[in-house]
């Protein structure tokens, strides 16, 4: 059993129409569902082949549909305390989730929610190449990228690289304590009137085909049309049928 603090290890789709979301992503990404008992209820666990990579959960009435990101930490309680001391808001205090692990939820100082997680069984190992249907990347869109980077470095021990993206500004790459790239941070354009949020990327065989298929399956909008990122791949950003943003990417 091993842990990879600083890695985003789980992604959870939260909406008031779980069945619609399950059908959409099953057809788009090839995911299947494994129902896992949790007390008197059950949890729809996302399976990519034989790998459990996330879940679907019903949201509170009126809550916007979204993808939630789970960040591996060494100690949930100390990380939660450090985060709130550094300006984050606690949305859910540390709690044991059955025998599966311990979790807490915060909103970072720029407004993006993130879950802190310590899995009782350890973290999924890094792989040399992300399998199709797996999580390729995670990206924070925030109105204050510098403040966000400073918070994640101070609280979770990240370091960063900065890349000049010209008119799009500086792109920050968060790296864990051993220098592994774990996530990106991007300044939101002034006209992007959406709350700060983490955006996960799913690896697909063909970005253009996936974007077109998503539209045919009922995606509400293409937020970013298929676009090349030199030396990284080709990506698109979509709004799924229940209103949650998701990115698809074909890696190089």
CA-CA distance, 31 to 108, in Å (whole number)?
30
| 183-224 pLDDT, tens digit each | 999 999 888 778 999 999 999 999 999 999 999 999 999 999
pLDDT digits (tens, 9 = 90+) for 65-108: 999 999 999 999 999 999 999 999 999 999 999 889 999 999 99
Outline where DSSP puts E strands in 156-215: 159-164, 170-175, 181-187, 197-203
Select from 61, 62, 44 the least CA-distant residue to 53.
44
Structural domain boundaries in the chain: 1-252
H or E stretch covering 52: strand 51-58
Please tell us whether the domain made up of 1-252 is placed in CATH 3.40.50.2000.
no
């Amino acid at each position: 059993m091993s842990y990879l603090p600083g890695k985003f290890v789980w992604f959870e789709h939260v909406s008031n129409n779980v069945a619609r979301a399950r059908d959409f992503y099953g057809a788009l990404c090839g995911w299947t569902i494994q129902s896992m008992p949790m007390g008197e209820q059950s949890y729809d666990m996302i399976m990519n082949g034989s790998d459990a990579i996330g879940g679907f959960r019903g949201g509170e009435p009126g809550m916007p549909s979204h993808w939630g990101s789970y960040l591996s930490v060494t100690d949930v309680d100390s990380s939660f305390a450090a985060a709130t001391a550094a300006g984050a808001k606690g949305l859910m205090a540390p709690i044991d989730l059955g025998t599966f692990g311990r979790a807490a939820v915060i909103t970072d100082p720029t407004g993006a929610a993130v879950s802190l997680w310590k899995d009782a069984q350890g973290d999924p190992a890094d792989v040399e190449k992300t399998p199709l249907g797996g999580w390729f990347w995670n990206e924070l869109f925030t109105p204050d990228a510098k403040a966000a980077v400073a918070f994640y470095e101070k609280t979770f021990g990240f370091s960063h690289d900065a890349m000049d993206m010209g008119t799009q500004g500086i792109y920050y790459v968060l790296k864990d304590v051993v220098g592994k790239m774990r996530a990106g941070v991007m300044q939101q354009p002034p006209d992007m009137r959406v709350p700060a949020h983490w955006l996960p990327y799913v690896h697909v065989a063909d970005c253009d085909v996936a974007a077109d298929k998503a539209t045919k399956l009922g995606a509400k909008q293409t937020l970013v049309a298929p676009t090349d990122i030199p030396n990284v791949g080709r990506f698109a950003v979509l709004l799924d049928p229940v209103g949650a943003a998701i990115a698809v990417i074909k890696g190089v």
